[in-house]
Chains A and B, each alone.
Chain A
Amino acid sequence: MAVENRDPAVKLERGFWLVTAVLAVLSLIAVVATVLYPVQRLLPEAAIPADQIDALFKFLVASSSVVFIFVIGYLLYFSLAFRRRSSDAPDAVGVQIHDSQSLEMWWTIVPTIFIIVLGIFSIKIWYGIQVQPNSGLVVEAIGHQWFYDFRYPGVHGTIPNEMHLPANVPVTLHTTAQDVIHSFWIPAIRLKADMVPGLINTLRFTPTNPGRYEIICTEFCGTLHGEMHKQVVVIEPQAKFIAWLSGWKSKNAHASDAVPAGGGGPPVSLAGGDAAAGKALFAQKCIACHGAATNGFEKRVVGPGLDKVLDDPAHPKLVDGNPATPENVAKILQNGYHGDMGQMPSMGANGLSAKDVANLVAYLKTLK
């Protein structure tokens, strides 16, 4: 009556062993292919510890592809081999087995051993990341909506959106944010840190491979989060790095000469603006937020449309509470804007030079 009857003895069919052999071969191929595959062809390894993290990634892909191949292989094989056939009686039942202590023990013990190996390997690589050499260059990165600022030893003020690093010098990068949480990710180095206002999160790495690489924000930070990428790290020979750094040292020697990320400084000169250069720049830098140049002022994308912004006598526009004159528009381009129309980064944050501002204003004048 009670269903405590013993399970029937199980004899595995020949097909099972055949499938197992095929899956074992496939697994072996997958493991070998994973180990041999050059990950850096897809995404360059620009610094230590990118190579270490890639080694862990390969270990994860190789070991889990074995698990995946066996699970999917058996799933397909069992589904086909043990499907109900039209010759089966309507009340046909399968093999009435309930459990198997040895089998269940194995599939508890083997994954446990695997987890322990994976844990040890992960901790080893984690430790390597934590104890990168502390000496060398110390750089500070500050996240803003929606750009990065950098501070270097010996440079007054900040350097917006431009991080140069010397090759083969250990870097300690302290990160924080000014407004909301941002994130600082260099895919080519495989590292990221959230930039949290009020906290300092530190990354340590040693650039090895000269080139330009992206810095990407991966923590949602507002309207233009998606545009907070394509920033560059340039990793270069030490001599060139020192030249770049001394360039900034003299450029920012007096705080008033620095290009402040928040804007400020004397008004830029609008003389000699080149409308054609401005047009190219507009397509590159402005349309993401302001839309096409044919958009009227009332048509907002993020900011207002800019068609006829400087030339519409019937409906004179106000920018930041002032008449839309070339000078007032240039002031916004230079210093940014924060108010009821939204937010716009300054020329420093947008990577614009004084000449660029003059060119853009010249172009805006042509929109009639």
Chain B
Amino acid sequence: MSVAVHGEVHGGGVADHIHPEPQTFVRKYIFSIDHKIIGIQYIITSFVFMGLGGLLAELIRVQLMHHSGALVNPDTYNELYSIHGSTMVWLVIIPLLTGGFGNFVFPLQIGARDVAFPWLNMVSFWIFPPAGLMLYSSFLMGAPVAGWTEYPPMSLQGAAGTSMWAAAIFLIGVSSTMTGINFLVTLLKMRAPGMTFTRMPLFCWAQFATAPLLMIATTALGAALAALFIERQFGVPFFDPTKGGSPVLWQHMFWFYSHPAVYIMILPAFGMISEILPTFARKPIFGYKMIAFSSVAIALLGFMVWAHHMFTSGLAPWLQLPFMILTFFIAIPTGIKIFSWLTTLWGGKIQFSTAMLFAVGFIATFTFGGITGVFLAAVPFDLHAHGTYFIVAHLHYVLVGGSLMAILGGVHFWYPKMSGRMMNETLGKWTFWLFFIGFNGTFIPMHWLGLLGMPRRVATYDPQFQTWNIVATAFSFVMTAALLLFFINALYSLRNGRKAGPNPWNARTLEWQIPSPPPYYNFKHVPAVFAAPYDFAEPLPYRGLEGELDPSVPAPVPAGH
């Protein structure tokens, strides 16, 4: 049975329904309906795919160490980067930030016992690993070659694996859409009494801004993928210009999803940064309301800028202007966030844990990636830079220097809550510095490589660019070393980490007020909330949490089904 609407309602309209404790291993860890287990399942699955996608990335970098291609033939190379991009976007960053950290963290932060639709949540997750395997199985039948964007008519020429790619991404899209609906309803209906929108932690605000993007934008991608699949398999010409189709139609549909998807991949990361910074600076987050509203503003504007990916595609020239101006305007809410984070650091008592290092590093690299984004929004500059390594540099600055840095910070921050143990801080600091240096060394040279004439998606290139490509590859090994260290730390700490206790960072949001890892019912008693959680000099703004850490207080009794 589902729980959303029939649970006992008291206080502020809360569904205080408790599932019975899962008894078997399968129900507890495999087909679990517990948002925390599902979140961890997403995180583990995504990191496995990140290992694969990272391996592909290193193969790409090794190939580019020689201008005529050091490793594989061009066709194989094209498969490598196409699957690399698809993996990192759809199997790593999006599921980590929404299905992974979204699932685990925000229901606890709003004082809920689970998400609104736990069974739907389980189904969402279980679509994801098979779809990932489908994507990788495309290697067996000839993987797609036209990059993660798969523009037709090129993708119509692609091998059989291109259809498999479309089917796999379609399924991921279904899973994303369901997650979006689930999170939105949970945030609207399942908040603890007194948890008003202006008292919600900023990570919840970020998920609140992201959920509609998942729900609405993904449907456009689904339509595009279905059309591509039908055209490839049954010859219905949506995109083939020789039969009356339009290749540019795909670009509109694809970017109508994929630009909002950029914000799906960064808004939750913003939310993580907004949780980590005040906790370790021991200061209220500066400008709470503006940070919250700027997330919503970015999400809304995010729907209106997709054609800035298409300035060279043949848009009517006047149509370029509104897309340029609206894209410029996204810099304003993004700037508000960066300035607010900076001011949060001022006057703090900053403790540089690994999580905090990643958060501070994020501000530096994301600012850089955001600035090059403004460059690219300017049509005249984009006419030069579009389709070059400058784009590759920009997108990795926001997705690796932005999203992935936040995710690594988030893992170091919430790992104690998920596992009950601390990660090793010394290894963590090595991870950060190696990652930060390796990342910047890999992607900084790509800016000028692109501006001077190196196009993206090439297996071979002009010999004049070889030196900087070797530099980028060398630094990419440093970044890979950092990630290996991170994996070792995460696995090692699972058994050998120091016991964390409920609140190792002395944090103030609700998830830190209950045991680590939290019990299946989350809260013995759903607390009442009477302020935002960022006043570090004040007592905690919750009532009713007294028994949470007291083993003599019994677990709550499940409601009968």
CB-based contact B290/A302 at 8 Å: no
- CB closest chain-A residue, reference B290: A104
CB-based contact B459/A180 at 8 Å: no
| Bound Cα distance from A75 to B384, whole angstroms | 32
Scan A61-100; emit 1 where CB is below 8 A from any B CB, else 0. 0001001100110110011001110001001111111111
CB-based contact A192/B383 at 8 Å: yes
The one of B329, B332, B387, B536 in contact with A183, judged by C-beta atoms closer than 8 angstroms, is B387
- B481 within 8 A of partner (CB): no
- A23 within 8 A of partner (CB): no
CB-based contact B383/A216 at 8 Å: no
CB-based contact B281/A214 at 8 Å: no
The one of B78, B153, B332, B538 in contact with A108, judged by C-beta atoms closer than 8 angstroms, is B332
CB-based contact B350/A82 at 8 Å: yes
Count, A-B residue pairs, CB within 8 A = 263
- A123 within 8 A of partner (CB): yes
- CB closest chain-B residue, reference A85: B349
- What is the distance, in angstroms, from B131's C-beta to the closest C-beta of chain A? 24
List the A side residues contacting B535 at CB < 8 Å.
Answer: 3, 96
- B462 within 8 A of partner (CB): yes
List the A side residues contacting B455 at CB < 8 Å.
Answer: 183, 185, 216-218, 225-226, 229
- CB closest chain-A residue, reference B366: A71
- B440 within 8 A of partner (CB): no
CB-based contact A94/B153 at 8 Å: no
Instruction: Kindly identify, within residues 434 to 462 of chain B, every residue whose CB is under 8 Å from any CB belonging to chain A.
Output: 451-453, 455-462
List the A side residues contacting B531 at CB < 8 Å.
Answer: 2-3
- A60 within 8 A of partner (CB): yes
Which of B261-269, B374-382, B404-412 is found at the contact surface with chain A? B374-382
- B515 within 8 A of partner (CB): no
- B503 within 8 A of partner (CB): no
List the A side residues contacting B541 at CB < 8 Å.
Answer: 3
| Bound Cα distance from A201 to B476, whole angstroms | 38
Number of interface residues of B (CB under 8 A): 92
- B50 within 8 A of partner (CB): no
- A197 within 8 A of partner (CB): yes
- CB closest chain-A residue, reference B356: A79
- What is the distance, in angstroms, from A66's C-beta to the closest C-beta of chain B? 11
- CB closest chain-A residue, reference B347: A95
Scan B102-139; emit 1 where CB is below 8 A from any A CB, else 0. 00000000000000000000000000000000000000
**18 sample A-B contacts, Cβ–Cβ < 8 Å, listed by A number:** A10-B347, A53-B381, A67-B371, A68-B368, A68-B371, A74-B345, A75-B360, A82-B347, A92-B349, A93-B537, A94-B282, A94-B347, A96-B537, A97-B347, A126-B320, A193-B314, A220-B145, A223-B74
Taking Cβ atoms with an 8 Å cutoff, the residues of A that contact B are 1-3, 10, 16, 42-43, 49, 52-53, 56-57, 60, 64, 67-68, 71-72, 74-75, 78-79, 82-84, 88, 91-100, 103-104, 107-108, 111-112, 115, 118-119, 122-123, 125-126, 129-130, 179-181, 183, 185, 187, 190-194, 196-199, 201, 214, 216-227, 229-230, 288, 300-302
The 9 A-B residue pairs whose C-beta atoms are closest, nearest first, are A218-B387, A198-B241, A226-B458, A95-B347, A94-B283, A94-B348, A78-B345, A226-B460, A218-B455
Known: A60-B374, A82-B347, A199-B248. 20 other contacts (CB 8 A): A1-B530, A16-B346, A43-B453, A64-B371, A97-B284, A103-B343, A107-B336, A119-B324, A129-B380, A192-B387, A197-B247, A198-B242, A199-B241, A199-B314, A201-B314, A220-B78, A222-B154, A223-B74, A226-B457, A230-B462
